[in-house]
A and B are shown apart, each in its own frame.
Chain A
Amino acid sequence: MEEGCMINSNFLGISLFMRCLRMLVRILVLLYLAGAPALAQTLCQPNASNGCRVRISIKTALGNQAYEWNENEMFLFRATMAFAMRRYYKTETYNVDNIIMCNQTLRVSFWFVVTSPENSTMLIPKADVEKAVRMSRHRINNAFLLTDRTLEFLGIHPTLAAPVNPDTPPWLIVFGVVIGAVFAGIIALLVSSLLQKRRKEKGMMEDGQDEEDRQMKGVENDNVLDGIYNRGFTDDDRFTKL
């Protein structure tokens, strides 16, 4: 009888132990699940040393075609950032879970941090995140239909517009056309003046008599003057010199 009780008490002890173990595991799992976001929350904080602040102005950029900023857009942002990190490090280990966002405001603005894929408690340094963003800035902007100014990463300056340096300055082209036309015109007019003069000289020699008669009478403003010759106007000084 005593041996039966001892076996029964052993069996009871083991089942109790198993139950306690299961409860412990459940508690631990619950704690872990509850604590993970809390852990993530402690990783991502405003003004954290490795956090970046993002400011988005959708209405300014798109006006009437502005879309609403909601959870789906947040998801797209995390996916884009993961893409940027993958591109920078040339690995395929980064995932959406590695991008943690917090402190979202109505502005729209928020902070985000990037955790390392190997160790989820370790943050990627801010400098590396910035370099990754700079490398893929154009792609990130286009994913949201925004520009450097409307999708701001505070601390990362917008890239300056590359100077357009044409081979010949455009003004020289316009100048060349104008001065070419002017010189062509000058030469054309000079040549035609010369030709006209030669023609007139030839004409003068042929009917010089008629011309002289007309000049004698005098033509003033297309009115042929037909007054009586006024002898008082003769230039006598030419003949009578005292």
Chain B
Amino acid sequence: MPEEGMEDNKGREERPKWNNKAEYLLTCIGFAVGVGNVWRFPYLCQIYGGGAFLIPYLIALVFQGLPLLYLELAIGQRLRMGSIGVWNSISPYLGGVGVASMVVSFCVSLFYNTIVAWVLWYLFNSFQDPLPWSQCPLNHNNTGYVKECVESTPVNYFWYRQTLNITPNMETSGSLQWWLVVSLATAWSIIYICFIRGIETIGKAVYVTATFPYLVLTIFLVRALTLPGSSEGLIYLFTPDWEILKNPQVWLDAATQIFFSLSVAFGGLISFSSYNSQKNNCERDAVLVGVINSATSIYASIPIFAILGFKAHTNYVTCLNGNILALTNEFDISDMNITVENYEQWFDSLNGTHPSRVSDLNLKTCDLQTFLDQSASGTGLAFIVFTEAVISMPGSQVWAVLFFIMLFSLGLSSMFGNLEGILTPLHDLKLVPKWMPNELFTAIICLVLFLMALIFCLGSGNYWLEIFNSYVGSVPFLIIAFFEIIAVAYIYGIGRFSDDLEFMTGHRPNIFWKVCWLVISPLMLFVVLVAYVAVQAQTHPTYAAWNPDYVNFPDTEVLPYPDWVFAICVLLSSVPVISIPLVAIYRLICCMSGRHSKGSLHNDPNPYANEGYVVES
């Protein structure tokens, strides 16, 4: 963002720059490492055969993720503009790619910060004893516990009723939940204070937000490995099932996961690298960011699964203890004679002698594998499964606070990139009036985003967030990335691009990068895009609704989307990317009508930036 007061008589404004390389790298890493590394990757690892999933994941990283990352960092650094300016410079017909990036960043910021607001709400509630999600509240006349809570679990009740106050279906909108509005306002205020002075304040903030999650993950790792049942969880996670590699869905999910995890096509990475000096080795930066992002995913899955193993073990022991109590009471056996260890022998002997009495007890079948198989991802993992595990750990408040602060810093550092993808293009488009200071402009944007995100604070807000997450946060990115790579590799030209890279890094890109940019990455992106759309189109979209009056409550009711909602889904997927053809057509019309539009977005070179040019007199 240009700083005022430093204008020369030619009206040139100096671009802000990073204080040091560490701030730049930490910001990029913080943007790439988000909540998805913690709650999406371990889930994929679990359902796709543990250690075997690493193979398609790493292949996708090397052949698709790293080339795209290198490409974005390089063009941002070379052309020194945000996403709109960069794509306008490369080809005016492809200016729509930049606009699409900005629109998509806008939509993602809306719902991503709502998740941060939920994390804040849980964080605020972790400072009490006992934790509010550990027990059911009493009903009105204090005769018993609330019915909805008894039928499901206290953790589910706290999430669905006391946090979201969710409506039974999407048609019922419900009202604004004031506590969520308050949490959302807090989240946006914290974002604003970090963005007040642009990268100056962001650069300071990322020292904490990008490093704190690693500290917490290590603490959790040490704690989790000392809990009973953790080893079962880890074995379950990492036992490779090689057969799963034959399923194409695995490769598709690995490619999409690596893609969304690296946060390319948001425009944020282009903006961040545009504040660098041009003589910076962006190849090393790209490889570093990509590798650290994947390493974080793998590192995060270890404590997550150790704790999930502990939770499964706890549930298994509770189930067994229920059976033991039933048997002890029925047959008047001395207290604690039946234990978890000798339960099998007792059961067999009792079943042999009194089978009818034993069967009348309706004992539950307790199988550790079943409990381990209960997988969850996304908000379900953080707010239901993990909170349940935390209750059983001694010193629950400490672990809950640590966990939610970690999620908060992960989300915050990703929000920096999202918001940067909106603000920098707007500045480059010179849409900001000259009289308006940057702080005011940032405040206005944050306020607009906050007001629009109030839709997610309604009773049906969670359903809308799922829609945004599935339809905005998926296909548009694939399309944008595909056009990005085609634009640079074929329209800008790989030769010109290699020259730029040689100017910036000091050496030409080797054959691996060139082959990836020209052939492998576009091909992979195209295949992934087509396969993703095909898979989505096959199933009629449904959503899981929380309905206390449902017959099979506490199972969620699977409802189809109403038609008007489905229309909105299609709009959400297509409107961001519609700018790509629109801008191309507009430029064509302008060109054909002969109007010469001076590219005010072109980077006016500084006449003094010609080191090495010697006047030969």
Contacts and interface: CB of A to CB of B under 8 A. Distances in A.
A170 B137 CA distance: 16
Contacts of A56: 335
Contacts of A212: 8-9
Nearest to A235: B10
A216 B6 CA distance: 11
Given A171-B121, A229-B608, A178 B186 contact: yes
A120 interface: no
Interface string A203-242: 0100000001001111111000111111111110000000
A149 to B, nearest CB: 10
- Chain B binding surface, main DSSP class: loop
A197 to B, nearest CB: 7
Contacts of A197: 4-5
Given A170-B125, A229-B608, 6 more contacts: A56-B335, A107-B334, A109-B332, A185-B193, A190-B439, A200-B5
Interface of B: 4-10, 12, 14, 17, 121, 123-125, 127-128, 135, 137-138, 142, 144-145, 179, 182-183, 185-186, 189-190, 192-193, 196-197, 201, 277, 328-329, 332-336, 437, 439, 604-615
Q: Closest 5 A-B residue pairs measured CB to CB?
A: A215-B8, A171-B124, A233-B607, A59-B336, A225-B608
Contact of A55 (B4, B138, B329): B329
Interface string A103-117: 001111100000000
Contact of A193 (B192, B196, B336, B610): B196
B609 A189 contact: no
Contacts of B192: 186
Nearest to B614: A228
A109 B325 CA distance: 14
A160 interface: yes
A141 interface: no
Contacts of A219: 14
17 contacts: A59-B336, A107-B328, A171-B179, A173-B127, A179-B189, A189-B197, A189-B201, A190-B196, A193-B196, A193-B197, A204-B5, A212-B8, A216-B9, A221-B277, A225-B608, A227-B613, A235-B10
A56 B185 CA distance: 53
Interface residues of A, number: 52
Contacts of B12: 215, 218
Given A105-B332, A106-B332, A107-B328, A189 B10 contact: no
Q: What does DSSP make chain A's interface, helix, strand, loop or mixed?
A: helix
A230 B124 contact: no
B138 A228 contact: no
Interface string A153-182: 000000011010000001111110011001
A121 interface: no
B149 to A, nearest CB: 13
Interface of A: 55-60, 105-109, 160-161, 163, 170-175, 178-179, 182-183, 185-186, 189-190, 193, 197, 200-201, 204, 212, 215-221, 225-235
A93 to B, nearest CB: 34
Contact of B124 (A175, A183, A225): A175
Nearest to B143: A160
A217 B608 contact: yes
Contacts of B196: 186, 189-190, 193
Nearest to A58: B335
A66 to B, nearest CB: 8
Given A107-B334, A189-B196, A200-B5, A218 B608 contact: yes
B606 A220 contact: yes
A228 B189 contact: no
